Amino acid sequence: MHELGRLEDLPPDYVDELRKLNLVPLWPSLRAVLPPGKPRPNTKPTFWSYQALRPLLMRAGELTPMQKAERRVLVLANPGHGLDNMKASAAMYLGMQLLLPGEWAPSHRHTPNAVRMIVEGEGAYTTVDGEKCPMSRGDLILTPSGLWHEHGHDGTEPVVWLDVLDLPLVYYMETSYAIEGKRQDVKPERGDVAYARGGIVPTPVFTRADKPYPMLRYPWVEARAALLALGTDRPGQDCVQVSYVNPETGGYAENILGFYALMLRPGQTLRLPARSPASVFHVIEGGAAAEIDGQHFNLAEADTCCAPGYTPVTLRNTSADQPSFVFIADETPLHKKLGVFETRE
């Protein structure tokens, strides 16, 4: 591939004239925006230790009352994007959020989609669009774009969860904003009860309420049981993984990011192919060693790491006699909608 002209090759007076008219020449930057062969992602393989960040999160609870924080979160930022940009990848934001006993995080709604993966503690809940969703470790709770949501805590111990949002994408498009609201009235319906069995959905005799997100809480007890059953039913299948989906449509649980749960059999090593979307891995139970682009991370329970797109990932269960369970978030729905999704072996 031949070398293109550089900006410094152009006469300074010519460059000045271009800039006065808000013009820039393409060719000096063409290789940067259209690199040959594959992208050059800014996302770097990055690891966040829960054991290391937890004391800092608890100290945040001492330093900053809820009325001064609204959402008490430590952002898991990828250094490849710059820590102040609050990105785990180009389209994903991660944050560890703390709610203390008796606290209430006020109701609001915003344009970015969000999910909560519960890390530790009992007694807290999220109310989404009037549906009260209890929080237990490993549960996945959706707060889709535009839906009112708030967090409360009736228990006795701190509750922590991992936030995953498509905030970087929505912010990049200049469509990110939030609206504050008042405490919600709780409705009797619960999607995690109505849609508790796979392959079986409620059948209305008359009309069904038009709810684009009929299921907001995905209990870990059900996802874990599904993984164990799948592993037993298909002993020769290497990748024992389930997807969090909309039970009415079978599509992704949310429309921009994808969410999955993976079980690694005792001692198993699993090589995932290089795909275009970036991925986040968070250990719910057990431990896993991850190799990403030549870097090695040892993940204990509640640890998190991310991998850039177009990069193969190898996961190994560090236990020889117990399964390991990993929550995964990625950008697959977005890539498929844009027509740029691809897998490379």
- Mean pLDDT within 279-301: 98
Q: Is the pLDDT of residue 207 over 70?
A: no
- What is the tens place of the pLDDT at every residue in 20-36? 999 999 999 999 999 99
Which pLDDT belongs to residue 258? 98
Which pLDDT belongs to residue 1? 72
Q: Is the pLDDT of residue 293 over 90?
A: yes
Q: Is the pLDDT of residue 55 over 80?
A: yes
Q: Is the pLDDT of residue 324 over 70?
A: yes
Q: Is the pLDDT of residue 211 over 90?
A: no
Which pLDDT belongs to residue 201? 86
Domain regions of the chain by residue span: 46-344
290 forms bridges with which residues in the sheet?
A: 297, 315
- What is the tens place of the pLDDT at every residue in 304-323? 999 999 999 999 999 999 99
**CA–CA separation, 43 and 345 (whole Å):** 20
Token couple for 78: 């990828």
Which pLDDT belongs to residue 208? 63
**CA–CA separation, 241 and 263 (whole Å):** 6
- Mean pLDDT within 45-66: 96
Between 203 and 153, the more confident residue is: 153
Which pLDDT belongs to residue 194? 87
Q: How many CB atoms lie within 10 A of CB 48?
A: 23
143 forms bridges with which residues in the sheet?
A: 114
The mean predicted confidence, pLDDT, of the chain is 95
Percent of the chain at pLDDT above 70?
99
Is the separation of the CB atoms in 48 and 33 below 8 Å? Answer: no
Between 228 and 211, the more confident residue is: 228
- Mean pLDDT within 110-137: 97
SS3 (DSSP) at 266: coil
Q: Is the pLDDT of residue 179 over 80?
A: yes
**CA–CA separation, 239 and 324 (whole Å):** 12
- What is the tens place of the pLDDT at every residue in 139-166? 999 999 999 999 999 999 999 999 999 9
Which pLDDT belongs to residue 67? 86
**CA–CA separation, 280 and 94 (whole Å):** 9
Q: Indicate the fold that domain 46-344 takes in CATH.
A: Jelly Rolls (2.60.120)
SS3 (DSSP) at 327: strand
**CA–CA separation, 89 and 48 (whole Å):** 14
- Mean pLDDT within 4-18: 94
SS3 (DSSP) at 90: coil
Burial (CB < 10 A; 0-12, 13-18, 19+), residue 221, is exposed
- What is the tens place of the pLDDT at every residue in 241-278? 999 999 999 999 999 999 999 999 999 999 999 999 99
Which pLDDT belongs to residue 303? 98
Which pLDDT belongs to residue 198? 85
